[in-house]
């Protein structure tokens, strides 16, 4: 799976412990999972100073400290308690997300929680629990997907550590993720996933650009911009498929016809990707995403997370500084959802 797709999956998660409803099983697994994370967390300085720490881990933790300091000093993000510790979870993912959508809908099912608001996923520390939930949703007829997530944010409520699951990432992805998660601590609007992720993504992208310039690595900006351009094209491809499917599901066709047409549209999406891949000169970063049998849940899990980025990027350009952008974004986020969507979530190219 490409770095971009994995990042989009990661961005779907906000901690279940803080977001958990009072239902016992879900709350219990969230509490136990977070307790384990906290028990495994050690201050970065202690891990770096430990002679038993592998050099590649030490280097990454030192890089994380530099990135956090840069985020506070140069991006004006909250200093807080996050990314000051390290937790080796001894597993490939921090959590597993379950996303579900009805058979004839491109909108994810939503669960509403006290802190995060209404969101289109449920996160589990135990993969078996995620699989059990996914099976129950599928048995009632939903399209379902489960995705491993390498890190998550508690929005500053708890001291989020760096995880071993992040250490193999490229530098731009690694530091960008730190910028992204700290941006959630700067501004988060409950229940407004599209807005929150676009805001954090704009901060992340601007932060990585400034990071590369500050470190005298402007030659790498071209490769980074190319990655972002491909991310936008990938999202546009999924958005077009979602729009076609939404029109199909609203058409009033009978169930049998819709099932056939649905598979035709999902097949078209794979064909369109093959064409896009060819235009990219054979770049294969999204092959893993398309290698499975696709359904509504796969589209719902990633397709909407680019829609508000161009509009919020335009707000940053107009603001001419990050502090002014943060203030403007906070004003927008305080508006009714219909108003902030109209203001920044139409598809506009920079």
Read off the pLDDT band of 23 (50, 70, 90): low
pLDDT (tens digit, 9 = 90+) per residue, 143-184? 999 999 999 888 888 889 999 999 999 999 999 999 999 999
Query: Any idea where the domains of the chain sit in the sequence?
Result: 3-189
Least confident of 59-73, 108-122, 235-249, 323-337: 108-122
Read off the pLDDT band of 1 (50, 70, 90): very low
Read off the pLDDT band of 349 (50, 70, 90): very low
Q: Which residues pair with 112 in a beta bridge?
A: 118
Distance CA 205, CA 220 (A): 13
DSSP letter string over 126-193? SHHHHHHHHHHHHHTT-EEEEEEES--B-TTSS-PPEEGGGTTS-HHHHHHHHHHHHHHHH---TT-H
pLDDT above 70: residue 194: yes
pLDDT (tens digit, 9 = 90+) per residue, 229-283? 999 899 889 989 999 999 999 999 999 999 999 999 999 999 999 999 999 999 9
- What's the pLDDT at 74? 97
The residue assigned the tokens 């412990």 is: 17
Least confident of 33-42, 69-78, 118-127, 248-257: 118-127
Read off the pLDDT band of 4 (50, 70, 90): very low
What does the DSSP 8-state code read for residue 109? P
């Amino acid at each position: 799976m490409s770095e971009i797709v994995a990042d989009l999956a990661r961005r779907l998660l906000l901690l279940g412990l803080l977001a958990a409803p009072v239902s016992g099983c879900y709350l219990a697994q969230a509490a136990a999972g977070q307790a384990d994370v906290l028990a495994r967390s050690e201050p970065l300085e202690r891990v770096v100073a430990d002679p038993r720490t592998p050099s590649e881990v030490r280097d990454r933790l030192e890089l994380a400290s530099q990135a956090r300091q840069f985020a506070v000093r140069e991006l004006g993000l909250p200093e807080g308690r996050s990314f000051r510790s390290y937790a080796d979870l001894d597993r490939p993912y921090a959590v597993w997300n379950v996303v579900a959508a009805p058979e004839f809908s491109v909108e994810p099912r939503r669960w509403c929680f006290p802190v995060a608001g209404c969101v289109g996923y449920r996160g589990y520390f135990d993969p078996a629990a995620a699989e059990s939930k996914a099976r129950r949703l599928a048995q009632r007829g939903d399209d379902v997907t489960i995705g491993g997530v390498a890190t998550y944010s508690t929005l500053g409520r708890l001291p989020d550590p760096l995880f071993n699951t992040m250490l193999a990432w490229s530098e731009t992805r690694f530091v960008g993720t730190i910028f992204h998660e700290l941006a959630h601590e700067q501004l988060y609007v409950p229940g407004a996933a599209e807005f929150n992720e676009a805001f954090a993504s704009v901060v992340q992208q601007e932060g990585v650009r400034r990071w590369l310039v500050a470190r005298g690595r402007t030659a790498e900006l071209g490769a980074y911009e190319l990655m972002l351009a491909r991310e936008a094209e990938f999202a546009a491809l999924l958005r077009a498929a979602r729009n076609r499917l939404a029109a199909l599901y609203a058409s009033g066709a009978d169930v049998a016809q819709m099932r056939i047409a649905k598979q035709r549209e999902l097949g078209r999406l794979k064909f369109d990707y093959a064409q896009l891949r060819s235009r990219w000169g054979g770049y294969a970063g999204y092959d893993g995403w398309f290698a499975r049998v696709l359904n509504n849940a796969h589209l719902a899990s990633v397709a909407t997370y680019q829609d508000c980025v161009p509009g919020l990027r335009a707000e940053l350009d107009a603001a001419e500084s990050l502090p002014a952008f943060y203030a403007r974004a906070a004003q927008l986020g305080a508006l009714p959802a219909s108003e902030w969507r109209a203001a920044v979530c139409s598809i506009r190219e920079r």
